[in-house]
Every structure is written in C-alpha cells, then in structure tokens.
Structure 1
C-alpha cells in the first residue's frame, strides 16, 4: 500500500488532521507526525538550537502518530528520518485558508514544500472558516466536503503522479463548498494581507507591539484568492519549489554590469 505522511501546523489534536486521516486511510498507510501545539505562520523554520521531543499520540485510523514539540518542517524531517521514504505528503486540513505568495509564511504549505525538497509529492489543503464560530481545535466545523476533495485529489496524485515541473498542490476549499463545487486551477495571488504594526500600552505604561494584517479585498482573476473569495470555487494551485525567475539571464547581467 502507498505510504502517506500526514502533518499540519494546527497541531496533532486538531479536528482537521483527524478528518484528513479518515479521508486518506483507505488510500494507504497513514503516518501522522504533527506539532504538539499550534505552529501557524512558522514557515519553513527548523529547530536547530535545542533537541526536539516526540510523543506517541492515539489518532484513530493512523498506522502510527507522533506529536513533535517543533515546527511542521521538523515533523517532515523527523518522519523521513524515522520511517523512510513516503509516496505522498499531505499537510492539513488547515483551519483557515492559505492563499497568495504568503504561503511561504504558512506552516501548512511549508511542510508540503519541505517534503517536495526530498522528492515527495505533496498536497497542502486548507478550509476557509468563519473565525467567529470557530473554537479550540476546530469544534463545530464540518470537514466533510473538504475531506471529499482531499480524497479525490490525493487518489489522483497517487495514481497518476504530479506533472513534470509540479512539486506540490496548494488547495483551498470554500466554507460553503458542496460536492458539486467546481475546481479552479489557479496561480498565486500577489498578496492576501498588508501587514503593519499596531502599538499598544501595557498597564505599566510601556509600549508593546502586535503585527497585524489588513486583508486585501480586490483580487486579480485567475488567482487562488479570486477563485476562493469571489467565485467560491475550490482553488488548486500547482507549485514548483524552484523559485528561479523565468527571465533571460542576459537581461539581468545587463542590469548588473551595464554592458
């Protein structure tokens, strides 16, 4: 049977990762290695200056499950070192969408990117949620449609592989999606948030700062954000981890040397 690595950045106790196990368990052996705690926005950070701890966790449907006191990238590295090569890596189902070039900040997407650097095809999948109605580990969220799309996409990737030049897929499912919701093939939007720093004052009169993001509300057609937020479609973006610009190197040389 195919060997599938499942991870996330919401933590091993998230209902999203349990929903993903149900979606994947009939497709292959599911190995779960995920952070013990919430590690959103950790990007591809690695834990290099202290040891990491691993804890066996009971996750129904998984062949084995470990919680790691590190980042999503740590989880992928740990899993490969301990269990060897996998046929596919899935990261999610994440609570909240991961859109635009800011997926490099996302622990969810970065886990799939890390797996791709090891030659393992990956899927990062996120579910749009209403944060006003979301509690704890995703209590009350209906993952049924997201698991349906995850199973469809994962089964296709296991059967056919990813096309040449595609290392992973970044998938975003609308909160109101149904099994009939169309899939849109998209490119990454330029930006989803415009971050800034908000200054506040503590009870002792000392200033402190929060990084906050103002959401972009206008999106270019053809992008993941437009498909999800405007068209209400499932966005699937093929990602290549080689970020080398597709430009004539001679043009760059002209800029640098003037000749």
Structure 2
C-alpha cells in the first residue's frame, strides 16, 4: 500500500474533479458527500468534456476561476476552460497536493474500453501520475434516463475514507460504477469487454459542405459474468475495479523478443 494516512490531527484534503462540468449534479453530490469528513476543493471543467480521454492542454493558456454559482456552499470551487486532466494538474499545483483525488460522479457508466477515452477516468489517472491515490466514480441512468446520486455519493464517501486510511498500491486507481437502481451489494470486479462499435454519419451544411458526426452503439460480451464491471452493474451491484497503470503485455515480452528484427 501507499504511504501512511494523514495525521489524525487534521482532516484529509480531497480534490474533486469530473468531465461533465462544474454544474453537473453528480459532482455536486460527490463534493458535498466528501465534505462531511474531509476538506474539499472542487476543480472542474467549465463545460462538458466527456470522452476527451487523458488530454492535456499545451497549445494555449488555461483559465482558473473561482465560482460561487455551482451550488457547493462553503466548498471552494474552481472552473477551468480545459480538460479533466488539466483540472487535476491546476488544482494540485495551484492549491497544493491533496490526500486523495476523486472524479465524478459521472452521468453514465465507464466500463471496459470506456476507460481509454473517459474524461472521468482520465482525471483519476492524472492524480495517479502525480503520485496521489485516486478514484473514478460513474453511474448508470434509470430506464427514464434519470439519475439519483444520494446513495452513490454516500458510498463513494465511505470508500474514499477507506482509501485514505489504507492507501492504494503504487500505480493503481479504483474505477467504481453504480447501477441505476438501489444496489444489491458490492462486487470487486475485473475490467470487462464493454466497448462501442463506431458509426459515422455524414450530412451537409447549408452551404453544401460535408460534415461528419461520430456515433456508436454500446456492446458487451460479458453481461452475464458478474466478475466483470459490466456484468456486476447490470446485475444490480456496485462495481469496484482496481486498475493498474501499466500498459506492458508482460506475458509477451519473450515472444516479441524472439521475432523483433535486429538493427
């Protein structure tokens, strides 16, 4: 596990970010739940940044502005005109390193291959690369397309307290997904096979020029396997997946060495 937990003489410090933007009800619920046991600061994009992945803005300056209009009460909240990863970078460097980075609660799940393009998960990855314990939280909608974040935020706060107290192994974050309805329990899961099959819609603007819209259909091959993130939340459980930031296919090192041409 990571370094020792914060001193009992002070409250832990938690940085809350997301990709849905500073005005999302999910981040409001998460920030308020965390503030019950920690000193919280919110740093989030000023507009929605879903599916931007782990992008970092390096070609233009970024604006970091305090906002009192997002409904966080006494919690300091800042808006950034950049990506979720930008928010974590600026929050850590301008406000000081927290004891924990949490991201979410995302409107919609982040499962399987979603992790590669999710801005929610990217904010947690950025915290991890800065050496900070990090958790990403996401939630499915109910059949009417609505969200109720109260129970999810309460569980997120309980899990976050455990992570602050116990730490996480180096280079490991937690990716947590909540079902649409009241959860039946909790499953510690592996990342499953959920992915999107892309489609491309081509239309013409009023001047007759083509434009393109990327769309897609959600697919999964393991919806009946409750040991996966996708299967667990579709069975009504909270899914908690430990994700290691190590992209090396360790089992293939010897095989590739056998056919990699010499110079």
What's the TM-score once normalised by structure 1's chain length? Answer: 0.89
State the partner residue of 1:238: 242
- 1:152 has 2:158 as partner: yes
**Counterpart Cα distance in 1 of 2:78 and 2:195:** 32
- Asked if the contact 2:129–2:171 (Cα under 8 Å) also holds between the matched residues in 1, the reply is no
Q: Distance in 2 between matches of 1:241 and 1:194?
A: 25
What are the equivalent positions in structure 2 for 1:10-29 lying under 5 Å apart? 10-29=20-39
Rate the CA distance shift 1:209–1:90 in 2: closer, same or farther, 3 A. same
The alpha-carbon distance between structure 1 residues 160 and 61, as it changes in their structure 2 partners (threshold 3 A), is farther
Q: Distance in 1 between matches of 2:49 and 2:195?
A: 20
> Root-mean-square deviation (CA), in Å?
1.9
| TM-aligned CA deviation for residue 63 of structure 1 | 3.8
C-alpha separation in 1, matches of 2:157 and 2:136: 13
Aligned mates of 1:102, 1:15 — CA distance in 2: 21
Measured after TM superposition, the shift of residue 203 of structure 1 is 4.2
Of residues 108-117 and 186-195 in structure 1, the stretch that sits farther from structure 2 once superposed is 186-195
Q: Which residue of 1 aligns with 2:14?
A: 4
Residues 131/66 of structure 1: CA separation in 2 closer, same or farther (3 Å cut): farther
**Match among 174, 183, 188 for residue 179 of structure 2:** 174
**Equivalent position to 2:62, from 28, 52, 74:** 52
Q: Is the 8 A contact 1:5 1:90 kept in 2?
A: yes
Residues in 2 aligned to 1:56 and 1:121: alpha-carbon distance in whole angstroms: 25
Q: Structure 1 residues 30 and 44 mapped into 2: Cα distance closer, same or farther (>3 Å)?
A: same
Deviation at 1:198, TM superposition (A): 2.0
**Which consecutive residues of structure 1, in runs of 5 or more, have no partner in the other structure?**
135-140
Partner residue, 2:190: 187
Q: Which runs of 4+ in 1 moved over 3 A?
A: 130-134, 201-206
1:214 and 2:217 correspond: yes
2:193 partner SS:
coil
Tell me if structure 2 keeps the 8 A contact 1:10–1:40: yes
Among candidates 237, 248, 253, match of residue 249 of structure 1: 253
- SS at 1:148 equivalent: helix
Q: Give the SS at the match of 2:256.
A: helix
Residue 133 of structure 2: aligned partner:
121
What is the aligned length?
Answer: 248
Shift of residue 190, structure 1, vs aligned partner: 2.9
